[in-house]
Each structure stands twice: as C-alpha cells, then as structure tokens.
Structure 1
Amino acid sequence: MAVSPESVIKDLKNGKYAPVYFLQGEEPYFIDTISDFIEKNCLNESEKGFNQTILYGKDVNISTIMQNARKFPMFSDKQVVVIKEAQEISDLGKEAGDKLLDAYIQNPLASTVLVFCHKYKTVDGRKAIGKSLEKHTVFVNSKKLYDNKIPEWVEGYFADKGFKVNPRAAGMISEYIGNNLSRIANEIDKLLINLKEKVVIDEALVEKYVGISKEYNVFELQNTLIKRDVLKANRILKYFEADPKSNPAIPIIVTLFNFYMKVLMIHASEDKSEGGLAKLLGVNPFFVKDYIAAAKSYPPQKVINIIHYIRQADLMLKGVDNVSVGEGDILKELVFKILH
C-alpha cells in the first residue's frame, strides 16, 4: 500500500530506515526530498566512501542493481544504494528483470537501504511486480498537488523551518511561482537565509526577497477585478506586457480561470457561510471574503460569460485562430471584457 511522503520523511527523521524504497510519480520534489535525506543522513561521512553507491537507470539493469544491493557493508552497519532515474532501467517491467527484483524485495538484505527514484512515471499496479512493490517496499506515489493546495503546502514548508507565513504572502508565492514545488522550496530557502530573527513572513518580505512586485502581480490583478478598478488593472497589464518573461500570460489565464470558477461555485452554493464556502472551495478561510466580494460584483450569467472569455483567450494564446495578436493584447482584451 502506498504511503505518504510526509510519513516517510517523519520516519527518516526519527532514524527509521527500511530495506527498500520505491519512489514514483509525477511530482519529483517528494522523490528528491526522500532520496536526498537518505543520501545525506543514513551514513556518516567516513562510511559513505565504502558504503554509498549511486547508480543511474540508463546505465544499469536489474541484475547489476541486485549485485550491488546484496553486498555487505564495510566498516558500517549499513550500505545505501540509490538508483536515480529508475524509470530508465531497461528490463524493469520485463519478465526476467521483474522476477529478479521481486525475489529480492521479498527477502531483502537487512543491512542495505535500496532506493529507487522512478520519476514522472508509475509502474503498472495491475501487474505482479506492481503489486509486489506496493506490498514489500516503502512505496510512495508522488502526485502533483492541486493548485488550491499549494498555499497550504507553502505554509507547511515555512512551519517545518520554524516560521509562520500569513495567508496572503503564501498566496503570493503560490500564484507567482505556480505548482513547481522544487522552485517554491528554493525561493523560500533563499528568503529565510536573509532573515536574522524569527518573524512572521508577510507580503513585504516576499516582495523583497522572492522578487514579486507587491503592486504588480496576478494576485493584485485579481483584486482590481473584484473592485472593478479599471485604472489599476491597466497599470498592472502594462507592467506584465513590459516584462513578459517574468509574467507569462498562460499562468495568469489559469489563475483567473480558477478564480472565476470558484466564484461560480459560490453562486451555486446553498451554504453561504464563510466556513462552508472555504470548505467547498478548498481555500484558506482568509481568502473567502475575496470570493464573496467577487460574487457580489459579478452576477452568475456574467461569471459564465467571463469563463467563456477566458477560454477564448487561452485558445488564442496557444495559437488557435491567432497568427499575430501578442500576449499583452490578448490579456488587455480579456480584462476589458471582464470589466465591461
């Protein structure tokens, strides 16, 4: 049975190491976090030279991996064998290779910590080897987080580092960086390096150290649309147009689409309480007032029209029925339609 990355990391921090880890899935961040922790912490520096082996899937087959896994450690209680890019192992998923792997994981060497980093793909859970891996290894299925879960993850990451972050600052980070957890973690780490004392992370710190403009970002564009502030919306669009590399249109479109879909959900909901709406939308209660304000500003039919306009803009950005209109002009037209 698959276990959560968080539970595996908790066990590792408590010094609990298993004989075999099979880490797979679309989200590389959790795979890297677990494998990096094992590489850095399972053995001390003097033990690593003799007892830590890093292999790459494209260079090895299952037989070679098993030969390394069955070695006994030298001058240590354990050895670590990590298979990077395990999805490239030539005979994984083939009968001969699967038999060798299955025989080992059912009776692994207790002194070996064997780690498979199988990124961006998953083994077929219907096949015998898939079922055996789930049963006999620490099996992690690392899934991409939904966009609405990113702010919560950001808050958790800060908490693990001993810091608190206010919800709007967490929202700024998630909106600006997207769902690339590795990049988010790197940006947060850079921010924390600059702090000399424990403080609550707010928008000003995010703006200063992550390079997000507090006044000109998609989060603020969203707020101007709620308030129907035409002048400020146009200022933000000009800022985006002047620096399209830092402000690509597609993520902006996705953010607006997700926002107005939630506004539509509010219109359809019978429970209009802030707590009920927060649960329905899957957002921090801090942000519910923004969605409620938008629902008051935009009646249901207008929201439906806006979602249609956003879909049209998305198609144009992807080149459908568009040969010459630039990103900036597409965004300007979209915002004009939303506000008028």
Structure 2
Amino acid sequence: MTYTEFMASLAKGELPHLFLLAGEEPYYTARAEDAILRRLLPDAAARADALIRYEEMPPIETLMEALETMPFFTDKTVVVVHDAAVFRAGKKQEEDAAESKDTSTDALTALLTALPPTTYAIFTLGAKPDKRRKLYQTVEKHGRVLESEALRPWNVEQWLNIRLREMNRSMQREARTFFLRVTGMMQSISLTFLDHQLEKLLLYTDAPQFTEADLRAVFSEMPEVSVFALMDAVSARDVSRALDLLARCRADGVHFTVLLALLTRHVRQLWQAKRLLMQGTPPKGLGKVMGMHPFIAEKLGGHARSFNEKTLRDAVLTLADADYLLKTGRAGDELLEDALIRLCRK
C-alpha cells in the first residue's frame, strides 16, 4: 500500500491492531506512525500510560511480554517497535534455516495473528521488508502494511502538490521550476529536509503563493542552489557567469568531487537529450525516456540543441580525465575551469 492509499485508509472505519511501516523514505513512515497514534491515542497526555516504545528490536520474549500486557489507567496498550530487524531481508538460505529452527519467531507470529483486543502493535523498518517471511505475511493478512518508497527527482512533484495543499499555499510556475531543478541536483532526496524548507517559507512570507525569490531566499544555504545556477550557466553557454559561479561554489565549500559528479551528469544528460532529439524523439517525450520530470527534460532538450554533439562527447572525456587527476592530487580547480571554458565556447 502506497503512502497516499495508507493515509486514506486510516480515515475509514476501525483500525486494525497490527501495522508495519517499512521502506526507504523515513518521512513517510514517521508521518504514518504519527497519524496512527493520533487515531488510537487522541489524548496526548494519556499516551504515557498507553504507549510502550522500543527504539530498536528487543528480544522477542520481551516484545511478547509487552504485547500481552494489560492496560492500566487506559483502555488500550500500543506497542511501537522502531528498526524492527525481524522483518529485514537477508540471505534466503540462512533465513529459511533460521526460521525453521526459531521457535520464538513462530510464537511471535502466532501472537500477532490473535492479539489481545486491547493491544495494538506498530513496527517500523527503514528498509524494504522481506515479503517471504511468515511474519510479514501475518501482518499483511491481519493488519496493514505501508511500503514507503524513496522519492526520485521525477516524481517529487506529487509530494510537493500534496504538501502545498496541506499548507494551503501554491507556487508560481517559475518557483515550481526552481524547486524541481534544485531537487534534481540532489544525489538523494530527503523529504524531511525539504519539508523543513517549506515550513520556513511559511515563516518567511504570508503570501498565498510562493515566488521564485521566496524559494531562493529560503533555500540559499543549500549547495545545490549555487550548483543549480552553475548548471544553468553551462546550459546557456555563458562562460563568464559559469566561471564566477564555480568560484562561488568552491568558496562556499562545495567539494570538487561533488561539482565534478554533478557537472558530468549534467553534460551526459545534455548529450543524451541531443542524441534522442537527433533520433526523432519529440521534446515532450524526453522526460519518459530519460527518467526526468517532463518539463525539466523538455527544457534540457532546448539547451541541448545549441551544443555540437562532439563538444559534449569531448567534455565527458575531459571531465573523466579531470576526475582522475584531481583525485590523485595531480591538478587543481584549473581543470574544472578549463572544462567549463571548452564546454561553453561557441
């Protein structure tokens, strides 16, 4: 069950007594856990009496004892287990052998099949669970499972739209483009971090619609913002601005390996877009082929048209040489500067 489906299901009817919140995006699992607790224990002051929380997987015997504990001063017991390693995937042969001998796991499985009517169990795992395990299949059958997939740049807009609706705000087209391009520069997207940045926007402005200037002000400390501007200058073949931004990135502490990796990826994307366009792919179809947001890919294709394919190919080779020489200490930032000049030369 996806995050959207899972959250919608919490608003319908009675809740099951068993939950597994697993996946690579902790933002979703944390919000889902909070939503469950608000449904089960709406009185925050009473949570101390009802809640048993483990920050890591306890011994199974300890966990079973907690699950069978009768509530005091409250009508239910809610057991939350973070980092529930018992659901984690491992080597199949070792798992099969362990499960066949592990009577404690069998006992836990049997208990989760028929929890006391006053007990609720919430397990979280910051990784994909092993769906072959009997324990997982028990939760799936008798409870509810959230599969929290990590977001990628090409599908972050769906999260953004939902979050803006929750905040009762919107974004101007230019601001949305800026947001999508900055997140596209990230090697991995942290929704928790992006959520904090959006919360800052609420403090920064009371306007119902965020502008690009608002986003630039709030996101200014992110190295991706200056790197994004550098890639923009490269796409525009503005060598003077590109060199100034390279110097600013280095002054801001952006390591050359990060710059080199992002610059190489950007040139490869320009080259890929160039070749696809030459092969007849329509600009609006670039996003699907390249695994990018359609609007961003179409804009990239527009920039790619102004480059000669040989220039892009030579730039990739130059950057590969720079990567080796910089990492072995045989050269400095002048190699990056040279690569930018060659790339932007018209």
TM range (shorter): 0.7 to 0.9
Q: Secondary structure at the match of 1:57?
A: coil
Distance 2:258 2:154 in 1: 14
Describe the superposition over 1:53-109 as per-residue Cα deviations: whole angstroms up to 9, x where unpaired. Answer: 211225x2122222222334345443321112323899x975233212211232233
Match of 1:268 among 254, 271, 276: 276
- In the TM superposition, residue 239 of structure 1 has moved relative to its aligned partner by 0.5
Match of 1:68 among 66, 72, 82: 66
- In the TM superposition, residue 234 of structure 1 has moved relative to its aligned partner by 0.5
Q: Secondary structure at the match of 1:323?
A: coil
Q: Is the CA contact (8 Å cut-off) linking 1:61 and 1:89 kept in structure 2?
A: no
Alignment map for 1:299-314 (pairs within 5 Å): 299-314=308-323
2:256 matches 1:242: no
- Corresponding residue for residue 147 of structure 2: 141
Match of 1:198 among 178, 197, 208: 208
Q: Is the CA contact (8 Å cut-off) linking 1:207 and 1:213 kept in structure 2?
A: no
- In the TM superposition, residue 240 of structure 1 has moved relative to its aligned partner by 0.6
- Corresponding residue for residue 51 of structure 2: 52
Distance 1:51 1:213 in 2: 41
Distance 1:70 1:63 in 2: 11
Alignment map for 1:77-116 (pairs within 5 Å): 77-87=75-85, 94=98, 95-116=102-123
TM normalised by structure 1 equals 0.81
Change (3 A) 1:309 1:37: farther
- In the TM superposition, residue 47 of structure 1 has moved relative to its aligned partner by 2.5
Alignment map for 1:197-236 (pairs within 5 Å): 197-199=207-209, 201-212=210-221, 217-236=226-245
Match of 1:332 among 313, 334, 337: 337
- Corresponding residue for residue 304 of structure 2: 295
Amino acid at match of 1:279: K
- In the TM superposition, residue 39 of structure 1 has moved relative to its aligned partner by 3.6
Q: Is the CA contact (8 Å cut-off) linking 2:185 and 2:224 kept in structure 1?
A: no
Q: Is the CA contact (8 Å cut-off) linking 1:151 and 1:170 kept in structure 2?
A: no
Change (3 A) 1:300 1:57: same
Distance 2:159 2:319 in 1: 27
Describe the superposition over 1:138-191 as per-residue Cα deviations: whole angstroms up to 9, x where unpaired. Answer: 223323222333354334432332222232232254156651221111111122
Q: Is the CA contact (8 Å cut-off) linking 1:274 and 1:289 kept in structure 2?
A: yes
- In the TM superposition, residue 271 of structure 1 has moved relative to its aligned partner by 4.9
Q: Which runs of 5+ in 1 are unaligned?
A: none
Q: How many residues align?
A: 328
Q: Is the CA contact (8 Å cut-off) linking 1:191 and 1:210 kept in structure 2?
A: no
Q: Is the CA contact (8 Å cut-off) linking 2:87 and 2:136 kept in structure 1?
A: no
- In the TM superposition, residue 212 of structure 1 has moved relative to its aligned partner by 4.9
- Corresponding residue for residue 10 of structure 1: 8
- In the TM superposition, residue 33 of structure 1 has moved relative to its aligned partner by 1.9
- In the TM superposition, residue 13 of structure 1 has moved relative to its aligned partner by 5.0
Change (3 A) 1:62 1:243: same
Distance 1:206 1:268 in 2: 32
- Corresponding residue for residue 168 of structure 2: 162
- In the TM superposition, residue 27 of structure 1 has moved relative to its aligned partner by 2.4
Report % sequence identity: 20
- In the TM superposition, residue 204 of structure 1 has moved relative to its aligned partner by 0.4
Distance 2:222 2:337 in 1: 20
TM normalised by structure 2 equals 0.80
Amino acid at match of 1:338: L
Q: Secondary structure at the match of 1:297?
A: coil
Distance 1:149 1:314 in 2: 30
Change (3 A) 1:277 1:172: closer
Change (3 A) 1:325 1:125: farther
Q: Secondary structure at the match of 1:298?
A: coil
Q: Is the CA contact (8 Å cut-off) linking 1:25 and 1:143 kept in structure 2?
A: yes
Instruction: Tell me how large the CA RMSD over aligned residues is.
Output: 3.3
Q: Secondary structure at the match of 1:217?
A: helix
